[in-house]
Amino acid sequence: MKLRYILFTIVICLVSSTVFAAENEKKVLNRFLYSESLNDRQKAFDIIVSSENKYRNIVLRELKKHSTKPAGTPDALIYLAAVIKDQRYIQPLTSLINNVDYSSKHCIYSCPIVFSLVIFGTVMNHSLPTLDEKLTAVSDLKSEAKRVRGISIKPEKASKYMEGPAVDQLLAQLETLPLADVIKLAGPHTQNGNKRLAAAVVLQAHVTDAEYLKDLYWLAIAELPNDASGEYRNAIHWAIYRAETSRNLKRT
């Protein structure tokens, strides 16, 4: 009888511990996805990335939930899927891009769903399920994947991606800085939008390894407000492609 009581107590403790852990992980994920405080979101992002195995399943559940009801799907969730890279995420991501209402509203310029599927299908070499060829987002995905397959990770001049009297001097100045400083200038604490964009373009041209990969993903998540033409996103996406490609090359 005493042994049975001890075993029952142990089971209750284990169940309680599991439930508490699941609730805590859900709180952290919600804080990352929905908090109005950018600092809180970044802290939650750091927690998830540092213990990503703990969050794989809850992120999968969140993706599946939004794949059936795509309205209001946070871009941050799509980027997080690319950060963790669990192959199980491909199906709900594919469901999202194949949803005409979702893809038509979220894939005007440099959309996160295209970026995430390029990471899975091209950088990670996972096969993707059938895609709706009639959708513009799918066409964009195929074009982007083709570009990324031929990506160079050698340093380039930022003027390859942006030039003009108003920006040439700024780009030249930023190119003299260490990448860590450029990443800070590309981040949300920089009030000047033009400087943030220029810093992102420098990263697009100069990232050659995966040292700052987590920081680059955060820049994509903390995007530039009013980036109507997607220039900032495109530059950060490209910097991430370069970093991910470099990491894969070192693994082989």
Mean per-residue pLDDT for 139-160? Answer: 94
Mean per-residue pLDDT for 226-250? Answer: 94
Percent of the chain with pLDDT strictly greater than 90: 81
d(CA 96, CA 162): 32
Residue-wise pLDDT for 23-49, tens only, equals 899 999 999 999 999 999 999 999 999
Residue-wise pLDDT for 206-215, tens only, equals 999 999 999 9
Global pTM value: 0.90
- Whether 70 and 118 have beta carbons less than 8 Å apart is answered as no
pLDDT band at 17 (very low <50, low <70, confident <90, very high): very low
Joined tokens for residue 41: 């979101």
Mean per-residue pLDDT for 126-142? Answer: 94
d(CA 75, CA 230): 14
Based on the number of CB atoms within 10 Å of its own CB, is 20 exposed (0-12), middle (13-18) or buried (19 or more)? exposed
Residue-wise pLDDT for 166-202, tens only, equals 899 999 999 999 999 999 999 999 999 999 999 999 9
Residue 189 per-residue DSSP state: T
Cα angle at 65 between 112 and 188, to 5 degrees?
A: 35
pLDDT band at 102 (very low <50, low <70, confident <90, very high): very high
| Structural domain boundaries in the chain | 2-149, 158-251
Does the structure show a pLDDT above 60 at 53? yes
Q: Residue 9: its pLDDT value, please?
A: 55
Mean pLDDT of the chain: 91
- Whether 175 and 209 have beta carbons less than 8 Å apart is answered as no
pLDDT band at 10 (very low <50, low <70, confident <90, very high): low
Q: At what angle do helices 2-34 and 75-84 cross, to 10 degrees?
A: 120
Q: Residue 204: its pLDDT value, please?
A: 98
Q: Residue 11: its pLDDT value, please?
A: 46
- Whether 151 and 207 have beta carbons less than 8 Å apart is answered as no
d(CA 210, CA 153): 11
Q: What is the DSSP secondary-structure string of 5-44?
A: HHHHHHHHHHHHHHHHHHHHHHHHHHHHHH-S-HHHHHHH
Of 191, 209, 100, nearest to 153 by C-alpha is: 209
Let me know how long the chain is: 252
Q: Residue 5: its pLDDT value, please?
A: 54
Decide which of 226 and 148 is more confident.
148
